[in-house]
Amino acid sequence: MQALQNDPAQIAASAYMNFLVQPEAAAQLAAHDFDRLFGFLTGHDASLQSLSTQTAAVSPDWLTPAVKAQYRAVWQHGLQGGLNYYRASPLRPATATDPGASAVQIPPEALRIEVPTLVLWAQDDVALLPCLTEGLDQHIADLTLVNIANATHWVVHEQPQRVIDEIAVFLKAPTAIQ
């Protein structure tokens, strides 16, 4: 919320959200066999601001034909549910017609998390910048923040074993909860 209100880089990085809340977003993303969504996965158009119907010339190693088929199979069930997440949240950049995050105020006590929490943060994510982790320790009593270098929004594909290992270590750690 704070970054969407005050950090110009995060506001710019989150501008894609304003496309995703538009009524025509699902149809545009599904067009041409999901070319625009695959463009997002490949980094061809990471911002989704100026969507193109072309896919990137080079796909990442993890985006195999089998993985593409899995994504396509899920997306064919419909995109509206996922897009409704963006519509339901006011946490998006403000526009001339939508105050977005600029109109949101949440009392600090409502943001307090008392359970042990693991946050894995991909350092090269173009949508979720590292600034979003700043100050988390003020809200989370028992925070484990793991920054993952050389990883993007698709860290679960790029470094799956690292993600699995970090979660396993975290789940085996002793907790303060009785």
Task: Write out pLDDT tens, residues 42-81.
Answer: 876 544 443 333 334 478 999 999 999 999 999 999 999 9
What is the rounded CA–CA span in Å between residue 78 and residue 6?
34
Over residues 84-111, mean pLDDT: 94
Q: What pLDDT was estimated at residue 104?
A: 94
- Confidence category of residue 178, pLDDT binned at 50, 70, 90: very low
Share of the chain above pLDDT 90, in %: 84
Torsion of CA 84, 88, 91, 94, to 10 degrees: 90
What is the rounded CA–CA span in Å between residue 148 and residue 119?
10
Q: What pLDDT was estimated at residue 176?
A: 53
| Residue 10 predicted with pLDDT over 90 | yes
- Confidence category of residue 114, pLDDT binned at 50, 70, 90: very high
Read off the tokens for 61. Answer: 């190693």
Q: What pLDDT was estimated at residue 65?
A: 95
Give the domain ranges of the chain: 2-103, 108-172
**Contact yes or no for 150/126 (Cβ under 8 A):** no
The mean pLDDT of the chain is 89
CB atoms within 10 A of CB 122: 22
Contacts of 151 (CB under 8 A, 6+ apart): 122, 123, 124, 125, 158, 159, 162
| Residue 171 predicted with pLDDT over 90 | yes
Q: What pLDDT was estimated at residue 40?
A: 86
Q: What pLDDT was estimated at residue 44?
A: 63
pTM exceeding the 0.95 threshold for the entire prediction: no
Secondary structure string (H, E, C) spanning 106-166:
CCHHHHCECCCEEEEEECCCCCCCHHHHCCHHHCECCEEEEEECCCCCCHHHHCHHHHHHH
